[in-house]
Amino acid sequence: MVRVEYNNDGIRVEVDDISKIASLPVKVEIIESIGGKVVFSREVTDNMWVTYPVGEMKDVIIRDVNRVKIFERKWNLMDGGRLYKCLYGYCHRMTLQNNKLRGLAVGTHDGAFGEWVPAVREKMSKAFLIEASNKQFNELCKNYKDFSNVKLYEKLITTDGKDIEFFEGGGDDEGYTNSVINEFFKKQNIKERYSRISPSTSLNEFIVKEMNSKIDWLHLDVEGYDAKLILSIDETLYNLPKLIIWEYEHIEEEEKISLEKFLYDRGYIVDYDNNNAMATKSLI
């Protein structure tokens, strides 16, 4: 009657003979698993289907003409990509061994998605969550205000801790985002953007001062700046994290090559999953 498929292209919802249980039309809604925000809705009748391009941590609800819920399919870890499962599995395994993990996520947005989210929300790890955009940071606070294992920071993280031009923008259609890389906005054709000179904190300074030089996993989603941050890591200040996840899509080719060499030389195994990448070392 209703089939929901999560794949690399997003979510596909197929409705067959749903008129047997509800008056038509029914409404398919895609909602964020965290916060419950409706990001897509469409009326359908028998033998119709709809798609939504992002399946990451999104639930599917179907309502009848009276807005009564007649179907629900919640996102779960098995719907996530390989990197979701790897980070969750690592945290779960270490928790069973009574290891108290400390992880850092830079560029968390509102915390409604990301490979770090399931493990952190199940309190398998202490998490230091950083978001530079005030708009997104306020939403992050709402979503994680009740989590005792989380510390929240409205900070801009850079390689050197100097003042830097910080870009934000994107409307409802484009998606709200931010970066210190202006070329990112140009390549994404995001027209609605503005910038300001902002103070920053270096990645190394944050790990040393706020995390007492202990970091087990690192998650980056900083729109084209990921490689620069990883390459700036000063391993003389703290032990390298066992697991690093970053957004691979917006990094320049030359930096990708430099980053792979940097990681391979330090004993990491690098893996790729769609637009993201993961480096692991001695996880057991």
**Both 208 and 271 in a single domain?**
yes
**Both 102 and 64 in a single domain?**
no
CA distance 148 to 105: 16
Nearest to 231 by CA among 277, 265, 262, 266: 262
Q: Average pLDDT for residues 108-113, to the nearest whole number?
A: 95
Domain span including residue 239: 81-280
C-beta of residue 33 within 8 angstroms of C-beta of residue 75? yes
Q: Average pLDDT for residues 175-186, to the nearest whole number?
A: 79
Residue 284 has pLDDT above 50, yes or no: no
**Both 255 and 229 in a single domain?**
yes
User: pLDDT by residue (tens digit) across 223-276?
Assistant: 999 999 999 999 999 999 999 999 988 888 999 999 999 999 999 999 998 889
**Both 90 and 128 in a single domain?**
yes
CATH assignment of the domain containing 128:
3.40.50.150
User: Which residue, of 54, 76, 98, is where some domain finishes?
Assistant: 76
**Both 143 and 40 in a single domain?**
no
User: pLDDT by residue (tens digit) across 13-32?
Assistant: 999 999 998 999 999 999 99
**Both 45 and 162 in a single domain?**
no
CATH assignment of the domain containing 53:
2.60.40
**Both 262 and 132 in a single domain?**
yes
The 3-class SS string of 72-124 reads EECCCHHHCCHHHHHHHHHHHHHHHCCCCEEEEEECCCCCCCCCCHHHHHCCC
User: pLDDT by residue (tens digit) across 157-174?
Assistant: 999 999 999 988 876 555
pLDDT for the residue 176: 76
User: Which residue, of 58, 76, 94, is where some domain finishes?
Assistant: 76
Mean pLDDT of the chain: 93
179/108: higher pLDDT = 108
User: Which residue, of 45, 76, 107, is where some domain finishes?
Assistant: 76
**Both 55 and 92 in a single domain?**
no
Tokens standing for 127? 């998490």
C-beta of residue 158 within 8 angstroms of C-beta of residue 202? yes
**Both 173 and 269 in a single domain?**
yes
pLDDT for the residue 171: 63
**Both 51 and 175 in a single domain?**
no
**Both 213 and 184 in a single domain?**
yes
Tally of domains in the chain: 2
C-beta of residue 15 within 8 angstroms of C-beta of residue 46? yes
**Both 230 and 95 in a single domain?**
yes
- Residue 175 phi, psi (nearest 5): 90, 130
